[in-house]
């Protein structure tokens, strides 16, 4: 119950203001197609440089929480998921909106997100100190294999091709070695003066997540935006007599009715929350998988499975509770082991490092004044997200109908500012643009940014522990003995191999079924 | 999508992988390249595997780029490159941002170019965006932006 003692800093005026800004800004950014939670958090990190670490992290945590939930607004009202995590929500959410039950669908979505999210954050509160205690026993060899597991899991689960996923992870790890070697100080792969300082993580994250989106907006050309041809929020929000907002029912009672309805479908809520929590704990697996798996499982266990896809509340409840339940647990491996649980958590790792906080088993010993208020703010952020989400959803849906030409120009300017402000160096900006442009072309050919980013972040962690382990091993029984013996080493190696084998099996099965997974 | 198009990325990655491998194994001091050698070896093996698969016709996950897409994105990339590689430092962040925003909106906005009000709308979008950026960065957050001849 240590977390209860750290609520004070969250309720300070400046923290509350940042929490509000993060929540409302996150809802808008999350609802904007093309601006994923990962990209939103990456673009926001430079804004936190001048802040106290706890304030910066409160802002980033609020953005993470509400961008995931905000994606449901455009998924329901405009039939365009704000982020891949909201794909499953579109299936039933927009059908409800199309028949005049948009407001009810939004309420169900935000209430499910709140419940799933709060349970997810409680899991984070309970599991993190336990795992941190357990992780204290990890030596360099275990931490090395853990970093490798982090890269292989995301490389195999986040990519359409196992080879391409692993290759992207390797490219990331190689990029992480560019610059001066930490131990001897030797130059490595510095083929241009811009690279002498290595590749800084923040410009790399901005480039890898933001620039491909900008270029895909350019690639659409002078076409009308998909959003502009979509139904207007007013149409989608209009209440029909059959809706919860029928005649005689007020706004408050409609929310109460939605709460009752969410709990009426308790089985879907439980499945969504459970699936989201488990998916969040697995390093590298994102909300898209959580939402789709939860939707599928809820349909399998539902008594009204034939109604799924026809505007059935259970579809929204399972998908959205899973998306937000994933947020808290995805930070468990990040805070205790430095292994991000999702691409957005990887970006948050960059935010932690930039504020001088290095996650690991001793994070609660050295930085309790930062980590606990950050976690508590996510708890409060879930409540604010639900409250403001329900209130401003219609307005948000109007705001996000901005043409992609404007969006591209805005994101490009923010990307330039964000990468420059890290070290006040234009070299970082050049690296950001080059990496981002390269990533766009790689994405078109099936390579994913997530394993590359994980490789870039975890590569130096793996190398540091590898070198430390090799030094210890030299004084003991040799490198192979040190890195391959021991139960935990074997378990981690088995996990890495199992993730690859599973991905190969899925790939073969998909090919056998003619491309249908 | 032509077959040669999906061979280009794995071919480029293979070349990079082999170069990284060569540099890792030939550079001194060897101790500094211990970990990069492991990474480079796996990198090169996977890249050659990926190239072989592409040559044999495996195009899993490939979307490719059509000629139309390339024509669409080229002006934007050129403007973006000028903005980042020269204008931001040469003219100053806000001036460069205003110019690039206006040009990009004019290039990609589907509204007709022969109506005065559409140009007014584009100008208004640019002005509002730059004003918000200036207020946020220079007034509220007081953070550094590239500054040269203009502001």
Quote ipTM for the complex. Answer: 0.90
**In which band, very low, low, confident or very high, does the pLDDT at B15 lie, cut at 50, 70 and 90?**
very high
Nearest to A421 among B13, B33, B143 (CB): B143
- Residue range A74-83, pLDDT digits in tens: 788 777 777 7
Q: How far is B116 from chain A (nearest CA, A)?
A: 18
Report the residue of chain B nearest A178, measured CA to CA: B36
Nearest to A163 among B29, B50, B72 (CB): B50
pLDDT at A413 over 50: yes
pLDDT of residue B41: 93
Name every residue whose Cβ is closer than 8 Å to that of residue A406 and which is 6 or more positions away in sequence: B101, B105, B109, B125, B129
Number of CB pairs < 8 Å for A and B? Answer: 191
Chain B residue numbers touching A188 (CB-CB < 8 A): 27, 32-33, 36
The one-character DSSP state at A84 is: G
**In which band, very low, low, confident or very high, does the pLDDT at A241 lie, cut at 50, 70 and 90?**
very low
pLDDT at A188 over 80: yes
Which sequence spans correspond to the domains of chain B? 3-55, 67-140
Report the number of distinct structural domains present in chain A. Answer: 1
Nearest to A218 among B10, B72, B133 (CB): B72
> What is the C-alpha to C-alpha distance for residues A422 and A21, in angstroms, rounded to an integer?
22
Mean pLDDT, residues A326-335: 83
Assess if residue A444 is contained within a domain: yes
pLDDT of residue A225: 57
Taking an 8 Å cut-off on Cβ atoms, the answer to whether B61 and A163 are in contact is no
Percent of chain A topping pLDDT 70: 89
**In which band, very low, low, confident or very high, does the pLDDT at B65 lie, cut at 50, 70 and 90?**
confident
- Mean pLDDT, chain A, rounded, equals 80
Percent of chain B topping pLDDT 90: 28
pLDDT of residue A244: 38
Nearest to B97 among A161, A163, A413 (CB): A413
Residue with tokens 């004070």: A8
> What is the C-alpha to C-alpha distance for residues B133 and B138, in angstroms, rounded to an integer?
8
Taking an 8 Å cut-off on Cβ atoms, the answer to whether B83 and A445 are in contact is no
Taking an 8 Å cut-off on Cβ atoms, the answer to whether A174 and B20 are in contact is yes
Q: How far is A426 from chain B (nearest CA, A)?
A: 8
Report the residue of chain B nearest A418, measured CA to CA: B145
pLDDT at A243 over 50: no
Chain A residue numbers touching B76 (CB-CB < 8 A): 214-215, 217-218, 408
Instruction: Find the domain containing A25 and state its range.
Output: 2-240+264-511
Assess if residue A38 is contained within a domain: yes
Mean pLDDT, residues A189-198: 82
Q: How far is B63 from chain A (nearest CA, A)?
A: 5
> What is the C-alpha to C-alpha distance for residues B77 and A215, in angstroms, rounded to an integer?
7
Assess if residue A217 is contained within a domain: yes
Give the largest Cα separation in chain B, rounded: 66
pLDDT of residue A239: 41
Chain A residue numbers touching B137 (CB-CB < 8 A): 417
Tokens of B75: 């002006």
Taking an 8 Å cut-off on Cβ atoms, the answer to whether B107 and A222 are in contact is yes
> What is the C-alpha to C-alpha distance for residues A332 and A286, in angstroms, rounded to an integer?
14
Name every residue whose Cβ is closer than 8 Å to that of residue B89 and which is 6 or more positions away in sequence: A426, B146, B148
pLDDT at A420 over 80: yes
Region of residue B147 (phi > 0: left; psi between -120 and 50: alpha; otherwise: beta): beta
pLDDT at A287 over 70: no
Q: H or E segment at A180?
A: strand A179-180
Taking an 8 Å cut-off on Cβ atoms, the answer to whether B108 and A466 are in contact is no
- Mean pLDDT, chain B, rounded, equals 85
> What is the C-alpha to C-alpha distance for residues A409 and A403, in angstroms, rounded to an integer?
10
Name which residue leads in pLDDT, A513 or A273: A273
Q: What is the pTM of this model?
A: 0.80
**In which band, very low, low, confident or very high, does the pLDDT at A245 lie, cut at 50, 70 and 90?**
very low
Assess if residue A447 is contained within a domain: yes
pLDDT at A336 over 60: yes
Taking an 8 Å cut-off on Cβ atoms, the answer to whether A222 and B109 are in contact is yes
Assess if residue A361 is contained within a domain: yes
pLDDT at B140 over 80: no
- Residue range A101-145, pLDDT digits in tens: 788 888 888 999 999 989 988 888 888 878 777 777 788 888 888
Report the residue of chain B nearest A159, measured CA to CA: B61
Taking an 8 Å cut-off on Cβ atoms, the answer to whether A174 and B40 are in contact is yes
Assess if residue A245 is contained within a domain: no
pLDDT of residue B64: 80
Nearest to A174 among B32, B43, B101 (CB): B43
Tokens of A506: 């899925």
Q: H or E segment at B110?
A: none
């Amino acid at each position: 119950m240590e977390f209860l003692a750290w609520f004070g800093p969250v309720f300070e005026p400046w923290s509350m203001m940042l929490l509000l800004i993060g929540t409302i800004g996150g809802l808008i950014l999350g609802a904007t197609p093309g601006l994923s939670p990962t990209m939103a958090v990456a673009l926001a990190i430079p804004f936190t440089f001048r802040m106290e670490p706890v304030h910066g992290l409160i802002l980033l945590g609020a953005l993470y929480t509400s961008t995931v939930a905000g994606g449901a607004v455009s998924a329901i009202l405009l039939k365009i998921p704000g982020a891949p995590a909201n794909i499953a929500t579109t299936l039933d959410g927009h059908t409800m909106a199309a028949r005049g039950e948009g407001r009810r669908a939004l309420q169900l979505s935000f209430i499910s997100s709140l419940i799933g999210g709060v349970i997810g954050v409680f899991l984070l509160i309970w599991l993190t100190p336990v795992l941190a205690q357990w992780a204290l026993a990890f030596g360099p060899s275990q931490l090395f294999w853990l970093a490798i597991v982090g890269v292989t899991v995301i490389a195999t689960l986040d990519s359409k091709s196992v080879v391409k996923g692993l290759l992207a992870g390797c490219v990331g790890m190689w990029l992480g070695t560019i610059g001066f070697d930490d131990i001897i100080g030797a130059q490595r792969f510095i083929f241009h003066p811009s690279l002498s300082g290595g590749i800084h993580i923040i410009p790399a994250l901005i480039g890898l997540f933001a620039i491909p989106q900008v270029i895909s907006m350019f690639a659409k050309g002078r076409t009308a935006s998909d959003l502009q041809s979509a139904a207007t929020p007013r149409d989608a929000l209009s209440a029909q007599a059959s809706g919860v907002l029928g005649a005689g029912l007020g706004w408050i009672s409609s929310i109460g009715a939605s709460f009752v309805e969410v709990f009426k479908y308790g089985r879907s809520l439980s499945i969504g929350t459970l699936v989201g929590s488990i998916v969040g704990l697995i390093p590298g697996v994102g909300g898209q998988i959580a939402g789709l798996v939860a939707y599928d499982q809820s349909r399998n266990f539902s008594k009204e499975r034939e109604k799924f896809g026809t505007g059935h509340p259970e579809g929204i409840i399972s998908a959205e509770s899973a998306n937000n339940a994933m947020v808290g647990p995805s930070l468990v491996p990040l805070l205790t082991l430095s292994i991000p649980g999702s691409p957005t958590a990887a970006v948050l790792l960059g935010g932690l490092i930039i504020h001088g906080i290095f996650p690991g088993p001793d994070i609660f010993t050295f930085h309790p004044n930062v980590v606990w208020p950050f976690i508590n703010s996510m708890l409060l952020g879930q409540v604010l997200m639900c409250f403001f989400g329900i209130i401003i959803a219609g307005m948000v849906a109007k705001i996000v109908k901005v043409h992609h030409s404007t969006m591209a120009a805005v994101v490009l300017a923010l990307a330039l500012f964000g990468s420059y402000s890290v070290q006040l160096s234009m070299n970082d900006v050049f690296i950001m643009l080059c990496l981002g442009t390269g990533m766009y072309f790689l994405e078109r050919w099936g390579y994913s940014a997530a394993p590359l980013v994980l490789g870039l972040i975890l590569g130096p962690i793996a190398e540091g522990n590898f070198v430390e382990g090799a030094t210890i091993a030299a004084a003991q029984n040799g490198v192979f003995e040190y890195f391959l013996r021991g139960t935990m080493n074997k378990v981690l190696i088995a996990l890495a191999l199992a993730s690859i084998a599973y991905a190969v099996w899925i790939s073969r099965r998909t090919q056998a079924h003619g491309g249908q997974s | 999508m032509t077959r040669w198009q999906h061979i280009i990325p794995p071919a480029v990655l293979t070349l990079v992988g082999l170069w990284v491998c060569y540099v890792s194994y030939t550079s001194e001091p060897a101790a500094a390249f211990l970990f990069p050698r492991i990474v480079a070896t796996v990198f090169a093996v996977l890249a050659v595997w990926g190239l072989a698969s592409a040559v044999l016709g495996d195009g899993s996950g490939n979307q490719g780029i059509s000629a139309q897409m390339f024509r669409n994105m080229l002006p934007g990339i050129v403007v973006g490159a000028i903005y980042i590689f020269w204008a931001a430092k040469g003219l100053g962040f806000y001036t460069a941002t205003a110019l690039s925003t206006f040009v990009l909106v004019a290039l990609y906005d589907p509204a007709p170019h022969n109506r005065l009000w559409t140009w007014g709308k584009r100008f208004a979008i640019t002005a509002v965006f730059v004003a918000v950026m200036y207020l946020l960065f220079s007034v509220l957050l007081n953070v550094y932006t590239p500054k040269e001849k203009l502001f």
